[in-house]
Amino acid sequence: MRKQDVSRREFIKQSAGVAGFLAVLASPMATVLARDKASAGMPQEPADKKKRAWCMVIDLKKCDGCVTIGTVPQCTNACILGHYVPKGQQWIEVYEDDLPGGGKYFLPAPCYQCENAPCVNVCPVAATYHDKDGVVLIDHRRCIGCRLCMSACPYHRRFFNWGEPILPPEAAFAEYSPHYPVPAVKGTVIKCMFCSHLLPNGKLPFCVAGCPMKALYMGDLNEDIASNGKDVVQLSKFLSENDAFRYKEELGTKPRVYYLPGHGQTFGRTADDPRPFVPATWPWGGESGFVRPDGIFPWSETK
C-alpha cells in the first residue's frame, strides 16, 4: 500500500515536471505558430466593431455581360477605375462559359474569399491572411513575390505586378492599406479584396454599385442579409429559393461567392444570343501595363 502511495506521488510529481518541461519547450513554438496574422500593429479600419462574414451573391439571371447595353462589363469597369487597377488585371472578370445545350452564359468572377483559402495556407510570410470579417487580404509591404499563392489558387483570381505599374498620377495620392491596395506595388501579388475599405462605412463595393442590372449582391452571412443597392433580401432564403451554387464547390475551399444560375434572361438575353461581351479597357497603362525595357539595353526605356 505504502509503496503504491509513494509511486503515485512520484508519478504525479514526475508528470507535472514533464508537462512543465514540454510547456517550456512548446512556448517558443506557440509564439511562432501564433504569428500567422500579418500586419500586426497596423492601423485597422475602425468603423465597424461587429464581426461580419462578408459574402457576395451574383444573380446570373440578371447578368447579361452588359451585351444588351453594348458596353464593357460595368462591374469590371467600376473596379478598374475605383482601384487604379494595373492594365491587364481584372480583379472581377467576366467569363463566358458554355451552357449544356449550346449557347453561353456570363460568369463574373471576383476573388471568392474562400474560408479554407489555399492561398492563405501556402503563404510563407503570412502576407496574405483573413481579416476579422473573413476577407482575404494581402499586405504588400510584406509580400516577397514568390507567387506560391497564385499557383495554389484554383480559380486564377490572383495577379502579379510583374513590373512597375503605369498608373495615373492621382493614384500616388491614395493612402495604402491592405484594404485598399493602391497604388499597386511592383513585384507583389494583388487581387480583389471585396472593397473592404468601403464595407465598414456601409457602402457597397465598386462592382456591386456599378452593375446597371443590379445582379450583384453584397451580404453578411452572420446577419443573414444581402443587398444589391435596390432590394434587401434575407440571404439564406434567397440562396435556397434560387438554387444557389458555388464555383468548384467540390474542392472544399468554401468560397464566399454564390451564384444563382441563369444566362441573363431577366433582361431578355436568350441562351443562344451570339453577342460576345466587350473586352475591358484601362484609361492608363501604356502598351503592356508595366514599365518595360525596350530591347536589351536598360537606357532605352519605354512606357
Partner 1 sequence: MRSRAIESFQDRLERVSLAPLIHTQKTYYLFVFLLLATVAWGLYAYAIQLRYGLVTTGLGDQVMYGVYIVNFVFFIGISYAGALVSAILRLTNAGWRSPITRISEIIAVGGLTDGALQPIIDLGHPERAWHIIAYGRFQSPLLWDIIAITTYLVGSLLYLYLPLIPDLALARDRLGQSASGFKRKIFTVFAVGWQDTPDQRKRLNRAIGIMAIMIIPLAVSVHTVVAFIFSMTLRPGWNSTIYGVYFVIGAVFSGTAVLLIVIAIFRKVYHFEEYIKEKHFRNLGYMLLALLLLYLYLTFTEYLTGGYKMEEGEEQLLTLVMLGKNAPWFWFFVIAGMIVPAFLLIFSKLKTIPMVLIAAVLVVLGMWVKRYIIIVPTLEVPLMPFEFGSYSPTWVEISIGLATLAGFSVMVTLAAKFMPLVSVWELKEEAEKETHHKEEAEGQR
Q: Which residues bind partner 1 (CB under 8 A)?
A: 32-33, 35-36, 38, 88-89, 93, 95-98, 107, 109, 118, 121-127, 142-148, 150-156, 158-164, 186-189, 251, 253, 288, 290-293, 296, 298
Specify the residue, 231 or 287, whose C-beta has the smaller distance to partner 1.
287
- Residue 231 to residues 182, 198, 225, 227, Cα–Cα distance (Å): 31, 19, 11, 6
The total number of residues shown for the chain amounts to 303
DSSP string, 152-219: H-TT---EE--S-B---GGGGGS--BTTB--SPPTTSEE---TTTTTGGGTPPPHHHHH-TT--EEEE
What is the nearest approach in angstroms of partner 1 to the Cβ of residue 210? Answer: 21
Specify the residue, 52 or 87, whose C-beta has the smaller distance to partner 1.
87
What is the nearest approach in angstroms of partner 1 to the Cβ of residue 203? Answer: 28
Specify the residue, 96 or 272, whose C-beta has the smaller distance to partner 1.
96
Contacts of residue 60, defined as CB under 8 A and 6 or more positions apart, other chains included, come to 105, 106, 107, 215, 259, 260, 261, 262, 263, 264
DSSP letter (8 states) at residue 275: P
Specify the residue, 223 or 294, whose C-beta has the smaller distance to partner 1.
294
Specify the residue, 153 or 167, whose C-beta has the smaller distance to partner 1.
153
Contact 176/84 with Cβ under 8 angstroms? no
What is the nearest approach in angstroms of partner 1 to the Cβ of residue 28? Answer: 12
Contact 84/168 with Cβ under 8 angstroms? yes
Alpha-carbon gap, residue 158 to 190, rounded angstroms: 6
Specify the residue, 244 or 251, whose C-beta has the smaller distance to partner 1.
251
What is the nearest approach in angstroms of partner 1 to the Cβ of residue 104? Answer: 9
C-alpha cell at 15: 508528470
Between β-strands 257-260 and 54-59, what pairing exists: parallel, antiparallel or unpaired? parallel
What is the nearest approach in angstroms of partner 1 to the Cβ of residue 24? Answer: 19
What is the nearest approach in angstroms of partner 1 to the Cβ of residue 183? Answer: 14
